[in-house]
Structure 1
Amino acid sequence: MCRNIKPLFNYEPAVTEDEIRAASLQFVRKISGFTEPSKANEAAFQLAIHEVAQAAQKLMDSLVTHAEPRNREVEAQRAKERNAIRFGTKED
């Protein structure tokens, strides 16, 4: 899985269109192998981002949970702690 794509479901505040588009861009970059497509592939690349974003938004709108919403700051701190353990770095 692409490490740059973050979970988007069940956060307070809810996921934004920009976050969904960013995740869609990362997904399309990953599966296409392009960071920036050539001019010949630009239209297909942009269409794929748009369609992935639409599918992701539809998914986010249809998911249901009874769990408490996650807090972005708490999740970011947990990620820092995991990275410190994984890479042997100290937190500031």
Structure 2
Amino acid sequence: MCRNIHQLHNFEPPATADEIQAAALQYVRKVAGATRPSQVNQAAFDRAVAAVTAATAELLAELTTNAPPKNREVEAAKARARAEQRYAS
């Protein structure tokens, strides 16, 4: 998985439309191998982002779990701690 795409399922509050769209954009960029498509490819790029956004939103709406929702701040603190340990000099 692309390192910049974060888990969106089972958080309180739920993932926003902006978070879902940002994850879709990162996915399409990774698959396309470019952060900015050429003018000739822009329409295809935009359609792909829209399709992945819709599919992701549908998936998140249908997923169920018995696990309690995760807290965004707690998970962010854990990620920062892992990063500090990983990049400590």
Q: 2 CA distance for matches of 1:71 and 1:35? A: 30
TM-score if structure 2 supplies the norm length? 0.97
Distance 2:62 2:13 in 1: 17
Deviation per CA, 1:48-78, whole angstroms, max 9, x where unpaired?
Answer: 0000001101100110001110000000000
1:21-60 paired onto structure 2 within 5 Å:
21-60=21-60
Compute the RMSD of aligned alpha carbons: 0.8
Distance 1:42 1:16 in 2: 25
Q: Report how many residues are paired.
A: 89
Q: How does 1:5-84 map to 2 (within 5 A)?
A: 5-84=5-84
Structure 1 unaligned runs (5+)? none
4+ residue stretches of structure 1 with deviation over 2 A?
Answer: none
Gaps of 5+ in 2: none
